[in-house]
């Protein structure tokens, strides 16, 4: 049974796109039945070019990424979500999205905050560095998520494990 993971951020242009890309790529490489999705509460309508660049440099195909609304995941025909991860960082003064619902029961919800790499100092070089470091940090957590026995964990154990990953 496929585990559907939705990663949320306000604009769905940078951090959530990096997370969707890393989780999808790593799941495929590891042969895990996990499907990554991303969305935003106020989607910008575009993906940040430095996010796509960081993913491409990691060998990830970037053609299918787009900024979309979290409403897409509560509509008829949406995938049954198992996990919802918010990646916005409250220190970035954003309204952090909260997902209320999901098809197939309530998903486990967890917050893994990352500073917004598009706010990094140092011009384009500084931003590129920040996007790469954010991609690596997200990738590390996604590897930990994929190491969990997702098919056999009950809701409480899954939530506890995801919270612990967020502390790492």
Q: Where are the domains of the chain?
A: 3-167
Residue 105: predicted pLDDT: 64
Superfamily (CATH H level) for 3-167: Response regulator (3.40.50.2300)
This prediction has a pTM of 0.91
pLDDT of 67 over the 80 cut: yes
Element (H, E) at 7: strand 3-9
pLDDT tens-digit map of 10-56:
889 999 999 999 999 999 999 999 999 999 988 999 999 999 999 99
Q: Which of 3, 36, 65 is nearest to 138 (CA)?
A: 36
**For residues 51 and 67, what is the distance between their CA atoms, to the nearest angstrom?**
12
């Amino acid at each position: 049974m496929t585990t559907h993971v939705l990663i949320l951020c306000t604009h769905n242009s940078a951090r959530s796109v990096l997370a969707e890309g890393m989780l999808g790529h790593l799941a495929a490489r590891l042969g895990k039945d996990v499907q990554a999705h991303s969305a935003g509460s106020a989607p910008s309508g575009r993906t940040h070019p430095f996010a796509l660049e960081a993913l491409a440099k990691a060998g990830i195909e970037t053609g299918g990424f787009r900024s979309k609304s979290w409403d897409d995941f509560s509509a008829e025909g949406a995938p049954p979500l198992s996990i919802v991860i918010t990646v916005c960082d409250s220190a970035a003064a954003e309204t952090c999205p909260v997902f209320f619902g999901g098809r197939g029961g309530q998903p486990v919800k967890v917050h893994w905050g990352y500073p917004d790499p598009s706010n990094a100092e140092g011009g384009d070089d500084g931003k590129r560095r920040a996007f790469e470091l954010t991609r690596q940090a997200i990738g590390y957590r996604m590897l930990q998520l994929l190491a969990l026995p997702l098919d056999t964990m009950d809701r409480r154990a899954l939530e506890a494990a995801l919270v612990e990953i967020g502390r790492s």
